[in-house]
């Protein structure tokens, strides 16, 4: 059975891609940004997922403004880098996983999420920059990547709740795939930023940090946030963060936060990055500790206020 083992959020700022492509990573401005992903690359190299699902947005590269699908799943065997105006980025072709992608499309559509199935697509910085941040710049990307493009560029984008529930449906789809695959899901974009208009340059670190806290520990607080609140608090482009909720919906209710990084600015954007791991499966836990009684030390630990709070939190659900 396939399984989503972890979720990652990462910025997708085009200037990060330009800094990589033009060999500016060692400049102090960019070093500050890239050094925040050193541990992430180590984590990725250790985790070695079999497949990644990348929730990202296209910037009128694959879809012109004439056609903007709300959710579009890349089911092709490969996705070449798009020409974004200065030629395609010099990054490897993204190899897809057509059988898992087709399975996800089937499962999710039968679960009443009307995805657009895409059999031919180029991918822009929205997808390739997060891959660089997590994998570096290898000759070939180390695993297949299934792109899931979400419309966050033309109003109305989907709600955070819809995104979260889609994440849940994706998780169900992955778990009904017979092959043993370890899947990591990316939510990209964010955090607060506004690129044009009178509030251009807006960054709201207080909002961003609370968003990261809730994403990790209490996503129920985020799923019903209105578009207007994203816009007011996080700027016009802050709405990209709904994509993070697809990722979060695909994970367990309670997750282990293994890494977090936040820096301001990268280009016009606050860069927020988090790695969340699903706990080992109950079945896996049972296999290791079948019917073992808790030790006195474990019992004492369970009585601490933090544990009690955690136990209380466990009973909270994110409702659909």
In the complex, minimum distance from the CB of residue 54 to ligand DHB, in angstroms, rounded to a whole number: 15
Task: Enumerate residues 168-207 that contact ligand DHB by CB under 6 A.
Answer: 189, 193, 195
Distance between CA 247 and CA 305 in Å, rounded?
30
The backbone region for 38, taken as left when phi is positive above 0, alpha when psi lies in -120 to 50, beta otherwise, is alpha
Determine, following the binding rule CB under 6 A, whether residue 14 of this chain makes contact with ligand DHB: yes
Convert residues 259-298 into a mask of x (bound to ligand DHB by CB under 6 A) and - (unbound): --------xxx-----------------------------
Nearer to ligand DHB, 87 or 138 (CB): 87
CB 270 within 8 A of CB 190: yes
CA distances from 50 to 57, 69, 176, 238, 280 (A): 23, 27, 16, 31, 17
Q: Give the interface segment with ligand DHB, choosing from 10-18, 72-80, 161-169, 215-223 (CB under 6 A).
A: 10-18
125 counts as catalytic: yes
Q: How far is CA 32 from its chain centroid?
A: 22
Q: Pick between residue 216 and residue 268 the one whose CB is nearest to ligand DHB.
A: 268
**Candidates 97, 125, 161, 273; catalytic one:** 125
Is residue 248 at the binding interface for ligand DHB, with CB under 6 A as the rule? no
- Could you list the active site residues? 125, 193
Which stretches of the chain bind Fe ion, using CB under 5 A? 189
Which stretches of the chain bind ligand DHB, using CB under 6 A? 12-15, 59, 189, 193, 195, 237, 267-269
């Amino acid at each position: 059975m396939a399984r989503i083992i972890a979720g990652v959020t990462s910025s997708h700022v085009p200037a990060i891609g330009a800094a990589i492509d033009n060999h500016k990573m060692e400049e102090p401005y960019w070093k500050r940004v890239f050094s925040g992903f050193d541990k992430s690359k180590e984590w990725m190299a250790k985790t070695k997922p079999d497949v990644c699902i990348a929730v990202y947005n296209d910037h009128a590269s694959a879809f012109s403004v004439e056609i903007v699908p709300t959710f579009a799943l890349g089911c092709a065997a490969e996705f070449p880098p798009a020409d974004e105006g200065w030629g395609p980025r010099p990054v490897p072709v993204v190899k897809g996983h057509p059988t898992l992608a087709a399975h996800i499309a089937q499962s999710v559509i039968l679960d009443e999420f009307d995805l657009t199935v895409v059999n031919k697509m180029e991918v822009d910085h929205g997808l390739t920059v997060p891959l660089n941040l997590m994998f570096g710049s290898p000759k070939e990307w180390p695993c297949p990547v299934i792109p899931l493009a979400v419309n966050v560029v033309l109003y109305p984008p989907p709600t955070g709740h819809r995104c979260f529930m889609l994440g849940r449906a994706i998780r169900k789809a992955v778990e009904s795939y017979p092959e043993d695959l370890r899947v990591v899901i990316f939510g990209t974009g964010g955090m607060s930023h506004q690129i044009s208009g009178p509030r251009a340059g807006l960054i709201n670190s207080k909002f961003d940090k609370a968003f990261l806290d809730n994403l990790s520990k209490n996503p129920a607080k985020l799923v019903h946030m209105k578009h207007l609140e994203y816009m007011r608090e996080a700027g016009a482009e802050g709405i990209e963060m709904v994509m993070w909720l697809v990722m979060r919906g695909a994970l367990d209710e309670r997750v282990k936060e293994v890494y977090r990084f936040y820096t301001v600015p990268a280009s016009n954007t606050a860069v927020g990055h988090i790695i969340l791991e699903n706990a080992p499966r109950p079945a896996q836990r049972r296999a290791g500790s079948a019917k073992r009684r808790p030790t006195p030390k474990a019992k004492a630990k369970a009585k601490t206020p933090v544990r009690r709070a955690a136990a209380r939190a466990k009973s909270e659900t994110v409702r659909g």
